[in-house]
Homo-oligomer: A and B are copies of this chain.
Amino acid sequence: MTTATVVTAAMLAIGDELLSGRTKDKNIGQLAEVLTLAGIDLKEVRIVADDEEAIVEALNALRARYTYVFTSGGIGPTHDDITADAISKAFGLPCVHDDKAMELLGAMYERRGLEFTDARKRMARMPEGAAHIPNPVSTAPGFIVGNVHVMAGVPSVFEAMLDAVVPTLATGSKMLSESVPCPHGEGDIGGPLGDIQKAHPDTSIGSYPRFSENRFSTEIVVRGRTTEAVAAAAADVRQMIAALDRKKAG
């Protein structure tokens, strides 16, 4: 058996609006899906307010612990967009108007016949030396500093930035999964499914209850890093379901 490479990640979603319920986050689920497909394990997510101390503390905890950190939100032009300052502070770097970003933004506003206001110039600010993440939607770049990828909160922009970032990441062995629909409720499968998990320690077996038309059923998901491991555990799950079918019919 080959050793699987594990690459881990965390997300830090930033914004008062996520915590007030005004905005329902869409980026966490998007990032989770994209990273899973890329073979990167999203291990933790935090949501914090537009509060410098909260951002710095969460970022420093996460960037020390995981291979990559992805942030969303707080990189627009208004006073409540403090992510660039907070990230700079967390890294102990000056937060500067990046030359290349000033050029990109200046040219874009000139094309559009709009004044390049001080507020708009805020969007060129990032920790000194940070690399850009291109923004094909609205120009203002995200940025990369250390293992931290700083991206926009607007879902269409977040998604576009993520698409640009993913090919640059070290990816791990892809986590494979197989779903087995199960007509029995969790209360019926809990015992035998726990035994199957114990017998297949190289997989992670999850069971997700469904409640519809007044009865419970389950979706069982077997995850693992090799086709063989997943197939072997999934076969045992199917045997378990067949045995429960017979028991109910008998």
Contact = CB atoms under 8 A, between A and B. Distances in A.
A209 B76 contact: yes
Chain A: interface size category: 35 or more
* Interface SS of chain A: mixed
A46 interface: yes
A1 interface: no
A100 interface: no
B188 A119 contact: yes
Given A25-B28, A47-B45, A138-B211, A77 B190 contact: yes
A173 interface: no
A6 interface: no
A197 B191 CA distance: 58
A49 interface: yes
A58 B43 CA distance: 12
Nearest to A24: B29
Contact of A117 (B76, B117, B187): B187
A78 B186 contact: yes
Interface stretch (A89-97, A199-207, A224-232): A199-207
B48 A36 contact: no
Given A19-B45, A45-B19, A78 B189 contact: yes
Contacts of A204: 16, 80
A140 to B, nearest CB: 9
Count this chain's copies in the assembly.
2
Contact of A189 (B20, B119, B223): B119
Contacts of A191: 117-119
28 contacts: A17-B206, A17-B208, A17-B221, A19-B41, A19-B43, A19-B45, A20-B223, A21-B29, A21-B32, A21-B42, A25-B28, A43-B48, A44-B48, A45-B47, A76-B207, A79-B190, A79-B193, A79-B194, A114-B187, A114-B188, A117-B187, A117-B191, A119-B191, A119-B194, A120-B187, A138-B211, A138-B216, A154-B211
Given A50-B206, A79-B205, 10 more contacts: A17-B206, A44-B49, A79-B197, A115-B188, A117-B188, A117-B191, A119-B187, A119-B194, A122-B190, A138-B211
Interface of A: 16-25, 28-36, 41-50, 54, 58, 76-80, 109, 114-115, 117-120, 122-123, 137-138, 154, 156, 175, 177, 186-191, 193-194, 197, 204-209, 211, 216, 221, 223
